[in-house]
Amino acid sequence: GQQVMQIPQYQHVQEGEDFTTYCNSSTTLSNIQWYKQRPGGHPVFLIQLVKSGEVKKQKRLTFQFGEAKKNSSLHITATQTTDVGTYFCAGPYSGAGSYQLTFGKGTKLSVIP
Amino acid sequence: DTGVSQNPRHKITKRGQNVTFRCDPISEHNRLYWYRQTLGQGPEFLTYFQNEAQLEKSRLLSDRFSAERPKGSFSTLEIQRTEQGDSAMYLCASSSGDTQYFGPGTRLTVL
């Protein structure tokens, strides 16, 4: 079945350092979505990428969708303690007309003040 | 927009008991999803409704699990004869497009 893999599983950074998490799908995706889950919270939608090679920015966050639409990355510049949480990528199941999302295991970010 | 709400937020039950969770989606959203999340994992899809019709169901979903969305608004997820392996966070999400908005979840502990 479809698999979505994320690396690294954990990342500890000093406040002010940059952070990147990578996402790879076993199948081509029609779109990829990124979510953030704070400790004790629920996943919160960050962004959706649809086009091959697409790059989107949200303040200090930069999201990329690979040319083959099978991989994606999230880069945070100059991390802050508010960035703490687990970042998940998710892609729609490849079945026709499906709306279910397949999530990666996430990258848990810790920021040391 | 009051967001997706779920009740109860926490449920502790004994093995073998039945439990039911409720999800109230964002009012204008016609799609509703149930996911399960265990520690250190991403949400795992369980089932999906469009209006009142249950259109997709994970193959991983045991027949002890059943979900309904009788009037296309709120949904319930029932687990019969709970097992310790059912302990998890049960998340509901709703959408009108591709973006899914998650509720706070119901944390189930089976003793």
Which residue in A42, A51, A33, A44 sits closest to A99, CA to CA?
Answer: A33
Does the pLDDT value for residue A96 go beyond 60? Answer: no
Q: Are A91 and A102 in contact (CB under 8 A)?
A: yes
Whole-number pLDDT of residue B2: 75
Q: Between β-strands A10-14 and A107-112, what pairing exists: parallel, antiparallel or unpaired? A: parallel
Whole-number pLDDT of residue A2: 75
- Locate A8 and state its tokens: 């690294």
**B 56-75 near A (Cβ less than 8 A):** 56, 58
Nearest to B43 among A31, A48, A103 (CB): A103
Does the pLDDT value for residue A5 go beyond 90? Answer: yes
Residues in chain B where the model's pLDDT stays below 50: none
- Locate A78 and state its tokens: 């100059």
Q: What is the mean pLDDT of residues A105-110?
A: 97
Which residue in A106, A90, A108 sits closest to A98, CA to CA?
Answer: A90
Does the pLDDT value for residue A82 go beyond 60? Answer: yes
Q: What are the backbone dihedrals phi and psi of residue A43, each rounded to the nearest 5 degrees, phi first?
A: -60, 135
CB distance from A91 to chain B under 8 Å? no
CB distance from A92 to chain B under 8 Å? yes
Chains A–B, number of C-beta pairs less than 8 Å apart: 56
Whole-number pLDDT of residue B60: 76
Strand order in the sheet with A61-65: A4-7, A19-25, A71-76, A61-65, A55-58
Whole-number pLDDT of residue B72: 86
Whole-number pLDDT of residue B56: 86
Whole-number pLDDT of residue B59: 82
Whole-number pLDDT of residue A99: 75
Q: A26: alpha, beta or left, given left = phi > 0 and alpha = psi -120 to 50?
A: alpha
Contact B48 A100 (CB under 8 A): yes
Residues of B in contact with A99 (CB under 8 A): 31, 33, 48, 50, 55-56, 95, 98
Whole-number pLDDT of residue A97: 59
Residues of B in contact with A100 (CB under 8 A): 33, 45, 48, 56, 58
Q: Between β-strands B44-50 and A101-103, what pairing exists: parallel, antiparallel or unpaired? A: unpaired
- How high is the mean pLDDT of chain A? 93
Per 3-state DSSP, what percentage of chain A is helix, strand, and coil (rounded to 5)? 5, 55, 45
Q: Which residue has the tokens 């000093």?
A: A14
Q: What is the mean pLDDT of residues A29-44?
A: 94
Residues of B in contact with A39 (CB under 8 A): none
Residues of A in contact with B102 (CB under 8 A): 35, 42-45
